[in-house]
Amino acid sequence: MIGRTQPEGAPMKIVQISDTHLSARGGRTQQNFELVVDYVNNQVRPDLVVHSGDIVIIHPDDVDDRAHAHTLMQRFTAPVLVVPGNHDIGEPGSAPWQGIGVTDERIAAFETVWGPDHWRHDADNWTVLGLNSELFGSGLDRETRQWAWIEDVAADVPESQRVIVFLHKPIWSAVDEPVGHAVDIGESRTRLLTALGKVSLAAVGSGHLHCYRQTRRGDTLEVWAPSTGFVAGDGDALPGPLHQLGIVEYDCTDGVVRASYRSVPGLDDVTAGAVPEVTEAIDALGHRAVG
């Protein structure tokens, strides 16, 4: 999906939202999302909105949640591009969360509604790439095709272009110690950074961790976007980052990316346990397994 073309030399403004966890049953995550849409449309007015995954509340196979989330996303006035999260298509590895692994069928269902799971958006002297982090280490044929696409894009992007990458899980290691679930892309990191080393990588934006942080990785700005739905609970929160709901605004001017956390008025920094729609969706996983 190609949005508005920037005039030559014009700055570009991107808003990143993440981990909306929207349900067809509505509830608090939808109320938060509606506040975000109003704030983005009327206060920030970006050129592009990027959703970095976990669009739906919990389970990738819930058709109603996916369709409802798609309807809600149409409320943004700026063009919207999305990449999938683990709750949208499942995740790779031998022990995915709640046994929900990434599959061709789940990705195909995602793409039917949202379009390609990885994409390229060019605007003036900027190239924005969206990657499917849940393919890395999956062993699916789709992973092979995404690697080939990444290599082709890296070879095709002119040296004059600055590149911004969005994906659900962070590229770089998020924590020093194992925490029992996948928090970054793991061993695929080295290969991906080698491929991206061929372009002028200005910034990488990810989600998944439900907190905000930015740091420098050499010449590249790394950003963790907060959730709009709920913050991590006491047992899951990483030490250090900002544990508040909100969005990230990227000011892309003269080849430089500046990222800023934006607090959206009215959002309540609740944990998942305080959102009935989330707890009920998690409880329903047991019924799915039995069924």
Domain boundaries, the chain: 12-290
pLDDT in tens, 221-235: 999 999 999 998 766
**What does the pLDDT look like over 271-287, one tens digit per residue?**
999 999 999 999 988 65
Q: Residue range 56-77: average pLDDT?
A: 98
Under a CB-based contact definition with an 8 Å cutoff, are residues 250 and 257 in contact? yes
pLDDT for position 6: 41
Q: For the stretch 16-49, what's the b/e string if a residue is b when 16 or more beta carbons lie within 10 angstroms of its beta carbon?
A: bbbbbbbbbeebbbbebbebbbebbbeebebbbb
Calculate mean pLDDT across residues 137-166: 97
State how far the Cα of 264 lies from the Cα of 247, in Å rounded to an integer. 7
Mean pLDDT of 256-264: 98
The sign of the torsion formed by the CA atoms of 151, 154, 155, 157 equals positive
Average pLDDT across the chain, whole number = 92
Q: Which CATH architecture has domain 12-290?
A: 4-Layer Sandwich (3.60)
Q: Which whole number is the average pLDDT over 153-179?
A: 88
**Per-residue pLDDT reduced to its tens digit, 201-218:** 999 999 999 999 999 999
pLDDT of residue 165: 98
Give me the pLDDT at residue 203, please. Answer: 98
- With beta carbons less than 8 A apart as the criterion, state whether 91 and 59 touch: no
Other residues' Cβ atoms within 10 Å of the Cβ of residue 265: 8
Q: What is the pLDDT of residues 18-27, one digit of tens each?
A: 999 999 999 9
- CA pair distance 17, 47, nearest whole angstrom: 14
What is the mean predicted confidence (pLDDT) over 191-196?
A: 98
